């Protein structure tokens, strides 16, 4: 709990005067204390001095002073020199070097290093009750993560209780919550079918409304996955309406990211926004199989045209050419639930084998599927097939089956990804977690600086930091004091002290596909809500954060 020290002292002084008057009156009745206004004055002065506890900050002292910083403030504007004062979790002053009051409990000389806002990951995975520190994110400079992605969300039908439990435990980074449409369908026991009865829609809308009131930031969809795949456009529009009414955001793992369906899938999301009035966001934008940056241009043009209509549209991208998800992604819909897989194998095996053979070969062959699940961890599908001495399509049917593994799939083109990354409306995400066997969960944000700023100059440092701070903050509403208790995402007075100190030349992503759980390096100091979670390059055990609740009063 934050204490207003000035108010405490003023009230204490008033209580003292009232007590002193009673005591002096009593003493004077026994002629113990002389009636002297001067004595009263000096006693009062002595009391005020004694109220200033040397172990507590006075109004002129602060928790932290960062001196001689080169500030990238998150706006994308040019770098500038400044001193930054921090107190009680807030940035209280950004001033010219040497102009700040140096009476601070801690002073850090940035010595010309970059000081920026902490990075904001718009698409993250993990369980804060299992891994509350999230060192994988903190080590690459991420101070806020977004959970509840791809249509799957924690919290269930009592989101407030889950949020309270997370707050009680404490977390390393701040956490924002999205409610997942796939999870919602399961909560109301909706059938795995298209064209839901209105009673299911109303139940789901009620849960969404309650979730927004509890502090959720919006809804996510996972339209390539079980439950989500059955949702048609009318359902998607109806479920987005309570999100729009609360000013929230709809994030979507599109129905397809394949090169021959991507534009259709993007159009569906845009139509969901048009029909509901909700802001919409493309999660981990990519083109599977696509190797033409011109097609990325066409997709971006669709988004720009929608903005011209007045629709709020954004997207995020992670800087890798391999995706990561369950092996069900290579199976046909007719072999997935609610269909009986064993029956499909018995009655349509030849057809299924042919489908899998064609599908995997189109996805760059079995060598391009790298398993992240035991007992095949670190092996490609081709290597597993060789070890079992059978065709890979038979391995998928007999040994792995849908839902039996997760893998990285090398199915993207880096030039296409670069084109998405350069777009001013596309921000950076990781789509990673502490446990996922993909380097994006440990390296994404550091890789942006190491490769695309330092090595390739694809982005300026200022623009890269904007894509990791100010842009996601504006997209989520984190920079808006009407939506959150404390704005963040910029180096600005009154904003939360989520702050990084680093030399860009020292930032490096260590994670690889062979060894994905390697922490990024180079972020010397990482502060979350004004508390150091990485100190001079060393991780500690502090958990100064919890759930950021979005204001339910904000209406679009």
Instruction: Give the pLDDT score at 552.
Output: 64
CA 119, CA 500: separation in Å to the nearest integer?
Answer: 8
**Mean pLDDT per 10-residue segment, the chain (556 residues):** 38 38 38 42 43 49 96 98 97 92 92 97 98 98 98 93 98 98 97 96 97 97 95 98 97 96 98 98 95 96 98 98 93 94 96 96 94 94 97 97 94 96 98 96 98 98 98 97 96 98 98 96 98 98 98 55
What order do you get walking across the sheet with 406-410 strand by strand? 322-326, 406-410, 369-371
Sheet holding 174-177, edge to edge: 119-121, 142-147, 174-177
Q: Do 227 and 237 touch, CB atoms closer than 8 A?
A: no
Query: Which pLDDT does position 101 carry in this prediction?
Result: 78
pLDDT of amino acid 553? 52
Return the residue matching tokens 């709809």: 250
Total length of the chain = 556
Q: How many whole angstroms separate alpha carbon 479 and alpha carbon 471?
A: 9
Quick check: 529 and 545 in contact, CB under 8 A? Answer: yes
Predicted local distance difference test score (pLDDT) of residue 60: 66
Backbone angles phi, psi at 417, to 5 degrees: -60, -40
- What is the structure's pLDDT at 28? 39
pLDDT of residue 556: 37
Q: Residues with Cβ < 8 Å from 215, sequence gap 6 or more?
A: 159, 160, 163, 177, 547, 548, 549, 550, 551, 552
Return phi, psi of residue 531, to 5°: -110, 130
| CB count in 10 Å sphere of residue 395 | 22
Strand 114-117 relative to strand 499-502, pairing: antiparallel
pLDDT of amino acid 92: 96
Determine the number of helices (DSSP H) and then strands (DSSP E) in the chain.
Answer: 16, 21
Chain CA centroid to CA 273, Å: 22
Q: Secondary structure of the chain: what % helix, strand, coil (to 5)?
A: 40, 20, 40
Structure tokens at 162: 């889950």
Q: CA dist 464 to 24, 71, 96, 167, 457, Å? A: 67, 14, 24, 31, 10
**Positive or negative, the Cα torsion across 181, 182, 186, 192?**
positive
**What would the 3-class secondary structure string for 407-473 be?**
EEEECCCHHHHHHHHHCCCEEECCCECCCCCCCHHHHHHHHHHHHHHHHCCCCCHHHHHHHHCHHHH
pTM: 0.87
Query: Measuring CA to CA, how many Å separate 401 from each of 326, 342, 345, 388, 404?
Result: 11, 10, 10, 15, 5
Domain 119-321+412-539 sits in CATH at 3.20.20.140
In eight-state DSSP terms, residue 405 is: -
Residue 67 host element (H or E): strand 62-71
Q: Which residue in 448, 359, 459 sits closest to 402, CA to CA?
A: 359
Which pLDDT belongs to residue 17? 37
Beta bridge partners of residue 279, listed in sequence order: 249
Q: For residue 14, which phi and psi values (nearest 5 degrees)? A: -60, -45
Element (H, E) at 48: helix 37-51
Those residues with Cβ within 8 angstroms of residue 4's Cβ, 6 or more apart along the chain or in another chain: none
Cα distance between residue 392 and residue 125, in whole Å:
30
Q: Taking each helix axis as running N to C, give the angle between helix 159-169 and helix 198-214, from 0 to 180 degrees, rounded to the nearest 10.
A: 30
* Domain range summary for the chain, segments of one domain joined by +: 5-51, 119-321+412-539, 325-410
Furthest-apart CA atoms within the chain: distance in Å? 111
Cβ pair 208, 240 in contact under 8 A: no
d(CA 10, CA 236): 56
SS3 158: coil
């Amino acid at each position: 709990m934050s204490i207003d020290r000035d108010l405490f002292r003023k009230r204490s002084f008033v209580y003292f005067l009232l007590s002193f008057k009673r005591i002096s009156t009593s003493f004077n009745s026994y002629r113990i204390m002389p009636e002297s206004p001067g004595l009263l004055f000096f006693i009062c002065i002595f009391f005020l001095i004694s109220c200033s506890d040397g172990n507590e900050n006075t109004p002129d002292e602060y928790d932290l002073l960062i001196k001689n910083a080169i500030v990238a403030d998150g706006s994308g504007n040019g770098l500038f020199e400044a001193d930054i004062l921090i107190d009680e979790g807030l940035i209280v002053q950004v001033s010219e070097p040497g102009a700040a009051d140096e009476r601070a409990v801690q002073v850090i000389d940035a010595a010309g290093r970059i000081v920026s806002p902490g990075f904001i990951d718009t698409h993250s995975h993990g369980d804060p009750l299992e891994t509350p520190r999230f060192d994988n994110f903190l080590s690459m400079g991420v101070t806020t993560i977004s959970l509840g992605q791809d249509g799957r969300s924690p919290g269930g039908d009592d989101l407030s209780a889950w949020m309270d439990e997370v707050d009680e435990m404490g977390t390393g980074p701040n956490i924002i919550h999205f409610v997942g449409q796939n999870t919602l369908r399961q909560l109301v026991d909706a059938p795995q079918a298209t064209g839901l009865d209105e009673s299911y829609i109303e139940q789901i809308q009620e849960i969404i409304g309650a979730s927004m009131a509890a502090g959720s930031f919006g809804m996510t969809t996972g339209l390539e996955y079980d439950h989500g795949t059955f949702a048609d456009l009318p359902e998607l529009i109806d479920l987005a309406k309570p999100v729009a009414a609360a000013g929230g955001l709809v994030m979507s793992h599109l129905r397809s990211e394949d090169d021959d369906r991507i534009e259709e899938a993007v159009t569906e999301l845009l139509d969901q926004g048009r029909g509901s009035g909700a802001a919409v966001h493309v999660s981990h934008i990519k083109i599977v199989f696509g190797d033409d940056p011109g097609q990325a241009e066409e997709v971006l043009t669709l988004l720009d045209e929608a903005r011209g209509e007045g629709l709020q549209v954004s997207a995020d991208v992670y800087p890798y050419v391999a995706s990561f998800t369950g092996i069900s992604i290579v199976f046909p819909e007719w072999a997935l639930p609610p269909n009986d897989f064993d029956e499909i194998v018995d009655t349509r095996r030849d057809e299924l084998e042919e489908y899998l053979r064609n599908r995997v070969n189109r996805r760059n062959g079995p060598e391009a599927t790298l398993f992240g699940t035991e007992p095949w961890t670190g092996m490609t599908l081709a290597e597993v097939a060789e070890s079992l001495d059978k065709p890979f399509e038979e391995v998928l049917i007999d040994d792995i089956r849908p839902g039996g593994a997760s893998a990285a799939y090398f199915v993207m083109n880096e030039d296409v990804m670069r084109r998405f990354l350069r777009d001013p409306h596309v921000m950076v995400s990781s789509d990673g977690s502490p446990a996922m066997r993909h380097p994006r969960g440990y390296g994404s944000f550091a890789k942006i600086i190491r490769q695309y700023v330092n090595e390739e100059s694809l982005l300026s440092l200022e623009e890269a930091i904007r894509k990791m701070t100010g842009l996601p903050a504006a997209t989520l509403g984190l920079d808006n004091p009407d939506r959150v208790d404390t704005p963040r995402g910029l180096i600005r007075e009154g904003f939360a002290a989520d702050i990084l100190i680093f030399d860009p030349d020292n930032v490096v992503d260590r994670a690889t596909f062979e060894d994905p759980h390697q922490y990024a390096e180079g972020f010397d100091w990482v502060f979350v809500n004004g508390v150091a979670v990485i100190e001079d390059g060393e991780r500690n055990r502090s958990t100064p954060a919890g759930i950021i609740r979005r204001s339910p009063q904000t209406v679009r």
